[in-house]
């Protein structure tokens, strides 16, 4: 891509913190979260780029973002190695907040690009050349097609919104399998967290669901909860973020709290996701020299479907570890890097650079 202003280029290449808001289930609040998390981060003095990857273009319409080119045009141009200008790519919404808009044409893009060799890396090719953004938020479509795969392929983090029902937990099983597939293909994947959305604690079933989600997801569940708030819907209808529309609302409070939690998570650069695929275990822990080989609750893996997973924030260095099921200790089957332990078995090894 040529003819782009230098102020938008990253000399080292790559956007610093890219977060996909993703769930194949519709109606779980992805767009509301993408818009208002972006706005909250701007309010905290970060420069933010929001990319609307949904053919329904709800984020684009909600923010009144018209531009010369949509993400559809841009990804097609990248696939054909055509040159684009920065003025066409980025639409400024207000100071420090930019968007790459969507359009209905995005719905047929997957069919047109399905035979392209670089089809999973189109979004990555775009974002690695754009500079001066502290965060890039990707609003994904409600499916697991090419656009969502592009988002997961390029993101460092993913937030999965959960609505207040058991189906929302069951529905992300396929998504977890895809994230594991991405890790196996490129030896990395987005560090994934879950967010409770539409919380109304006046109802007992909501309290029961929250208890169940905390037990099942453990440390993968964000502390922040987005409560039901009519002002969030009104803000979207008015073409504004919640901070523009009703800055003293509980919706604004919740999203500012979410931005603070995201800021804390993304300030730790050395995250590692560990996975284990097995449906026969009742519980699994990870133990290693990063926790003195202790089996404790903080290091219990979360289970979605038949996939167990955990995120670890580690300092630079070399670490040995094993998974623990009841009294059985065993190495990580998804990590080929091992070394012999003092008892003649195998430790899995992580090297954080």
What gap in Å lies between CA 31 and CA 21, rounded to an integer? 8
User: How big is the CA angle at 285 (ends 267 and 334), to the nearest 5 degrees?
Assistant: 80
Between 41 and 95, where is the model more confident?
Answer: 41
**Region for residue 217 given its phi and psi (left: phi exceeds 0; alpha: psi -120 to 50; beta: otherwise):** alpha
pLDDT at 8 over 80: no
Query: Average pLDDT for residues 320-333, to the nearest whole number?
Result: 94
**pLDDT value of position 282:** 92
Please tell me the least confidently modeled range out of 53-62, 113-122, 178-187, 320-329.
Answer: 113-122
* Strand, helix or coil for residue 17: strand
**pLDDT value of position 5:** 41
What gap in Å lies between CA 78 and CA 1, rounded to an integer? 7
What gap in Å lies between CA 326 and CA 285, rounded to an integer? 9
pLDDT, tens only, 105-158: 788 887 887 887 888 888 988 888 776 899 999 999 999 999 999 999 999 999
* Strand, helix or coil for residue 192: strand
Strand spans (E) along 242-345: 271-277, 285-288, 302-304, 307-313, 317-325, 328-330, 338-340
**pLDDT value of position 104:** 82
According to CATH, the topology of domain 6-266 is Rossmann fold (3.40.50)
**pLDDT value of position 343:** 86
pLDDT, tens only, 192-240: 999 999 999 999 999 999 999 999 999 999 999 999 999 999 998 898 9
pLDDT-based confidence at 322, cuts 50/70/90?
Answer: very high
Tell me what percent of the chain is helix, strand and coil, each rounded to the nearest 5. 35, 25, 40
Q: What is the DSSP letter of 218?
A: G
* Strand, helix or coil for residue 185: helix
> Where are the CATH 2.60.40.10 domain residues in the chain?
272-352
Structure tokens at 288: 């290693």
What's the pTM? Answer: 0.92
**pLDDT value of position 115:** 80
User: How big is the CA angle at 83 (ends 79 and 84), to the nearest 5 degrees?
Assistant: 100
DSSP H helical segments within 18-165, as ranges?
30-43, 58-62, 71-79, 86-89, 109-113, 122-127, 146-154
pLDDT, tens only, 239-288: 899 999 999 999 999 999 999 999 999 998 789 999 999 989 999 999 99
What gap in Å lies between CA 88 and CA 101, rounded to an integer? 11
pLDDT-based confidence at 15, cuts 50/70/90?
Answer: low
* Strand, helix or coil for residue 249: coil
Instruction: Judge contact between 31 and 39, C-beta under 8 A.
Output: no
Cα R_g (the chain), whole angstroms = 21
**pLDDT value of position 1:** 40
**pLDDT value of position 117:** 80
Query: Average pLDDT for residues 94-101, to the nearest whole number?
Result: 92
Query: Average pLDDT for residues 283-311, to the nearest whole number?
Result: 95
Nearest to 162 by CA among 28, 34, 262, 254: 28
**pLDDT value of position 67:** 66
What gap in Å lies between CA 190 and CA 202, rounded to an integer? 34
**pLDDT value of position 12:** 42
Residues contacting 69, CB < 8 A, separation 6+: 77, 84, 88, 89
pLDDT at 179 over 90: yes
Between 227 and 188, where is the model more confident?
Answer: 227
pLDDT-based confidence at 86, cuts 50/70/90?
Answer: low
Structure tokens at 329: 């200790």
May I ask the CATH architecture of the domain 272-352? Sandwich (2.60)
pLDDT, tens only, 41-80: 999 999 999 999 999 989 998 998 876 678 888 888 888 8
Query: Average pLDDT for residues 324-346, to the nearest whole number?
Result: 93
> Where are the CATH 3.40.50.300 domain residues in the chain?
6-266
What gap in Å lies between CA 263 and CA 135, rounded to an integer? 10
Residues contacting 271, CB < 8 A, separation 6+: 191, 311, 312, 313, 314
**Region for residue 103 given its phi and psi (left: phi exceeds 0; alpha: psi -120 to 50; beta: otherwise):** beta
């Amino acid at each position: 891509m040529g003819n782009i202003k230098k102020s938008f280029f990253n000399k080292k290449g790559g956007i610093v913190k890219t977060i996909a808001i993703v769930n194949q289930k519709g109606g779980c609040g992805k767009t509301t979260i993408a818009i208002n998390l972006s706005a909250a981060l701007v309010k905290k003095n970060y420069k933010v780029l929001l990319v609307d990857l949904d053919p329904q273009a709800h984020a684009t319409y909600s923010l009144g973002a018209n531009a010369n080119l949509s993400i559809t045009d841009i990804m097609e141009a990248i696939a054909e190695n055509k040159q684009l200008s920065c003025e066409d790519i980025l639409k400024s919404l207000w100071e420090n907040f930019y968007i790459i808009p969507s359009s209905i044409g995005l719905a047929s893009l997957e069919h047109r690009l399905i035979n392209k060799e670089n089809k999973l890396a189109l979004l990555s090719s775009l974002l690695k050349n754009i500079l001066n953004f502290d965060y890039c938020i990707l609003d994904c479509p409600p499916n697991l097609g090419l656009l969502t795969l592009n988002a997961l392929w390029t993101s460092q983090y993913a937030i999965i919104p959960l609505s207040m029902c058991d189906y929302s937990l069951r529905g992300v099983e396929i998504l977890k399998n895809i994230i594991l597939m991405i890790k196996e293909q490129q030896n990395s994947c987005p560090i994934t967290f879950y967010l409770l959305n539409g919380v109304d604690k006046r109802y007992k079933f909501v309290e029961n669901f929250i208890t169940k989600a905390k037990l099942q997801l453990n440390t993968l569940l964000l502390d922040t909860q987005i409560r039901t708030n009519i002002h969030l819907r009104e803000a979207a209808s008015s073409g504004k973020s919640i901070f523009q529309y009703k800055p003293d609302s509980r919706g604004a409070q919740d999203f500012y709290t979410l931005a603070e939690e995201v800021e804390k998570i993304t300030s730790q650069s050395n995250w590692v996701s560990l996975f284990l695929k097995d449906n026969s275990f009742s519980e699994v822990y990870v133990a290693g020299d990063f926790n003195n080989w202790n089996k404790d609750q903080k290091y219990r893996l979360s289970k979605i479907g038949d996939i167990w997973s955990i995120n670890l924030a580690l300092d630079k260095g070399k670490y040995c570890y094993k998974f623990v099921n009841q009294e059985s200790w065993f190495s990580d089957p998804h990590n080929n890097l091992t070394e012999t332990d003092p008892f003649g078995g195998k430790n899995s090894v992580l090297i954080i650079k």
